[in-house]
Chain A
Amino acid sequence: MEEPTGGLAGRREQARGGWPRRGLLAALLAAAAVAGAGLPSFAPATYAAVIAVGVVVLGAACRTHVRTARARERPALWWPWAVACAAFAGLEAWALLDPAQPTVSDLMDPVLAEPVWRGLAWGVWLLAGWGVVRR
């Protein structure tokens, strides 16, 4: 008699396979963050890495959408978030148009010059990209 693949048995099986998979992903993320810590700004290798990761995530996010697409109701109070994001975007646009004003990355450059913080930033960015793909 065949073992059932769905239901409780399926979920248990998935849970058994889940932790090693998560561990592997965490190890890969840590390795990528360490590698990213060694990639300086304005370097061709860094440009290539960021573009390559972006292409992979965009492709994966679009494929995931085909599988899981479902319309969600718009939250009633969405606009405070839109205002806050627009304020941030407005500041950034102003700084990009006026060379006398620093962009947020100009302000963060001294921090991100440190390999530890740079590696952490790579890790956070990659983790966020993973979250976008999974959502």
Chain B
Amino acid sequence: MTMAVAYGLAVGGLIVLEALARRPGSALPTAGECLAWAMGHPAGRVLVVLAWWWAGWHFLAR
């Protein structure tokens, strides 16, 4: 139960960050802008793909 709450808070934090970033005039980048920056570099691109793949493995395969 404690872990479920902790995961919920972590996911909630990500949602709050995205909402704050989408406010007009916000200096905070959106998740998409951070991803775009990370994916501008070869290593970042591979890391993003691996993170995406891991999510599929974790939730769908095992």
Contacts and interface: CB of A to CB of B under 8 A. Distances in A.
A50 to B, nearest CB: 4
Nearest to B26: A77
Given A50-B56, A91-B6, A75 B49 contact: no
Contacts of A29: none
Contacts of A132: 39, 48-49, 52
Nearest to A104: B7
B29 A78 contact: yes
Contacts of B45: 61-62, 65
Interface in B23-61: 27-29, 31, 33-37, 39-42, 45-46, 48-50, 52-53, 55-61
Number of chain B interface residues as a range:
35 or more
Interface of A: 36, 39, 41-42, 46-47, 49-50, 53-54, 57-58, 61-62, 65, 69-78, 80-81, 84-85, 87-88, 91, 95, 101-105, 107-108, 112, 118, 121-122, 125, 128-129, 132, 135
23 contacts: A50-B53, A50-B57, A50-B60, A50-B61, A53-B56, A54-B53, A54-B56, A69-B40, A72-B36, A77-B28, A78-B34, A80-B17, A84-B14, A87-B13, A88-B11, A104-B7, A107-B3, A108-B59, A121-B60, A122-B60, A125-B56, A135-B35, A135-B36
Given A57-B49, A81-B31, A132-B49, 11 more contacts: A50-B57, A50-B60, A57-B52, A69-B42, A71-B41, A84-B10, A84-B14, A88-B10, A102-B4, A129-B56, A135-B36
